[in-house]
Amino acid sequence: MSDQLPEPPEVAREVFTGDAWSRAEAFAELLAGPGVVRGLLGPREVPRIWDRHLLNCAVVAEAVPAEVRLVDIGSGAGLPGLVLAIVRPDISVTLLEPLLRRTVFLEEAVETLKLGNVEVLRGRAEEFAGRREFDVVSARAVAPLDRLLKWSLPLLREGGELLAMKGERAAEELAESETQLHSSGVRSAELVSVGHGKVEPPATLIRVVAGRAPGGERQASRRKARASRPKRARGE
Ligand SMILES: C[S@@+](CC[C@H](N)C(=O)[O-])C[C@H]1O[C@@H](n2cnc3c(N)ncnc32)[C@H](O)[C@@H]1O
């Protein structure tokens, strides 16, 4: 165990309850140990693992509806997706990450923490457009909102939600993407603040609710994905 890993703050006991507590402790140790050795987390982050990483990600659960299929785009070391799977056993979580060394770490973490509600998927978000469908997309520190929208909307069912963890520039990013939001036919886009009394400052999310894709783009990309599969796989 890393000697730099601090004791969890009191509030962590309120956030990680029941089975989630031992899993959160085990994940903190994985991040501070193999996570740092394998370059998934900078060594200077170790003293901040509880507040900046585990707690900040766990409070996103406040905005996640019950029993959804969630995909965490660019999960890296499992942030926020793996933490959400720990605090919300009712949801099914897909950790989507293109880099092999990161997916290997994620698979090992899922096994060590005995998480039955997590799938690790290797690839880039844009590769799964029209091939997989989810209720919620989460993302932290992956891309600006305009790119996240391009990647997320084709993965979401109509009425599904993108929850993008953003910092101080959240309001500006939202304003800058106004035209794109309008043209992609989303139902709504707003700032949501979560974690009051648990993290300081509270975490800011941009929540975008997907509408029907204009011109049936989502259905078209599904047709394209189907057409590109070999005939035998399509049962023809
Ligand atoms: C800065 S890291 C953030 C990791 C993690 N979300 C966090 O907050 O610690 C960005 C991650 O996005 C992944 N990524 C980059 N482009 C991507 C894409 N097109 N689709 C999915 N993931 C991508 C990278 O491999 C990397 O793991």
The rounded distance, in Å, linking the Cα atoms of 149 and 82 is 22
pLDDT for the residue numbered 214? 52
Collapsed DSSP state (helix, strand, coil) of residue 140: strand
Spell out the CATH class of 12-234: alpha beta
Q: How many CB atoms lie within 10 A of CB 67?
A: 10
- Which ipTM value was assigned to this complex? 0.99
- Distance from the CA of 234 to the center of ligand 1, in angstroms? 32
Judge if the beta carbon of residue 73 lies within 6 A of ligand 1: yes
Lowest mean pLDDT among 78-82, 91-95, 222-226: 222-226
CA of 72 to the centre of ligand 1 (A): 9
Q: Is the pLDDT of residue 9 over 60?
A: yes
Find the radius of gyration of the CA atoms of the chain: 18
**Ligand 1 pocket, residue 74 CB under 6 Å:** yes
d(CA 234, CA 236): 6
Place of tokens 């962590």: 12
Q: 56-86: per-residue pLDDT in tens? A: 999 999 999 999 999 999 999 999 999 999 9
Tokens of 235: 């049962």
- Measured distance CA(210)–CA(32) in Å, rounded: 37
pLDDT of residue 78: 98
**Does the annotation list 74 as a binding residue?**
yes
Is pLDDT of 226 > 70? no
The pair of three-digit structure tokens given for residue 233, joined into one six-digit string:
């796989």
In the predicted structure, residue 115 carries a pLDDT above the cut 60: yes
Q: What is the pLDDT of residue 235?
A: 42
* Residue 212 in this model has a pLDDT that exceeds 50: yes
pLDDT above 70 (res 236): no
165 has which bridge partners? 140, 205
* CB-CB neighbours of 3 under 10 Å: 6
CA distance 232 to 154: 25
Q: Domain limits of the chain?
A: 12-234
Tokens standing for residue 171? 């309001």
* Residue 124 in contact with ligand 1 by CB distance below 6 A: yes
